[in-house]
Amino acid sequence: MDITGSTALITGANRGLGRHFALQLLERGATRVYATARDPSTIDVPGAEVLALDITDADSVAAAARVASDVTLLVNNAGVSRYQDLVTGDLDAIRAEMEVNAFGPLRMLRAFAPVLGANGGGAIVNVNSRMSWTSHPGAGGYGMSKAAAWSLTNSARMELAEQGTLVTGLYLSSTDTDMMAGWDVPKNDPADVVRAALDGVQRGAVEVIADDDTAVSKAELSRDPAELEVHRSF
């Protein structure tokens, strides 16, 4: 799709990748950018239209779809990591990860698919993760939620193909955002990740692999898991 002249909505646009999406979409000529967050006062994106949105609340999502009825590009970016193991971690925290990272994008897809269809098809970007395909000690809940988001992305792509909606999955490793602030590991520049994602949308890519580590993890899906070492970075 052509981003110039598009109308975009980004979840979690108050920081990290979400803020970079909003800024770069405006730079690329989007006519309107809805920058959303649970607390709209935390959003600082000059030129964007600020909108309150809690993707874990069905009423909030429905209200956003009514207000942003001109959207042609949806970016499901909002996410959370509670750093929980599955066997011994806090179950409520794991549920919260699933609620934000899997059910949140699903709510957005269900609410905005008719909007996109009515506006000619458009596109959806789901910000997923290298953790969709690998595991890390202390992040079992996050990995489970991102594996679900991977499956959601692929299923939604098939379901929305008939209405002409592109569904692009963005997959990335450690990136310099608030979520990774406490990790002393090599990190992607979030601006580079967003640039790759939007370039992918422009060329109609169904999947964008943002870095070499993520490419390796994707390639290793065909190997016997018993042969693989546990990955130590997101």
Residue 170 lies in a domain: yes
Q: Do the bridges between strand 73-76 and strand 49-52 make them parallel or antiparallel, or are there none, so unpaired?
A: unpaired
**What is the pLDDT, as a whole number, of residue 179?**
67
Query: Could you give the angle at the alpha carbon of 90 between the alpha carbons of 132 and 184, nearest 5°?
Result: 55
Q: What is the reported pLDDT for 228?
A: 67
Q: What global pTM score does this model have?
A: 0.92
In a domain? residue 73: yes
Residue 180 falls inside a structural domain: yes
Q: Is residue 1 part of a domain?
A: no
Does 76 map to a domain? yes
In a domain, 66, yes or no: yes
In Å, how far are 1, 44, 122, 178, 219 from 36, measured between CA atoms?
Answer: 22, 11, 19, 17, 34
Residue 232 belongs to some domain of the structure: no
Range of the domain at 89: 7-227
28: domain CATH number? 3.40.50.720
Structural domain contains residue 188: yes
Residue 178 is predicted with a pLDDT of 66
Number of structural domains found in the chain: 1
pLDDT of residue 59: 98
**Cα distance between residue 229 and residue 159, in whole Å:** 35
pLDDT tens, N- to C-terminus, the chain (234 residues): 899 999 999 999 999 999 999 999 999 999 999 999 999 999 999 999 999 999 999 999 999 999 999 999 999 999 999 999 999 999 999 999 999 999 999 999 999 999 999 999 999 999 999 999 998 889 999 999 999 999 999 999 999 999 999 999 999 987 666 665 565 666 779 999 999 999 999 999 999 999 999 999 999 998 887 776 544 444
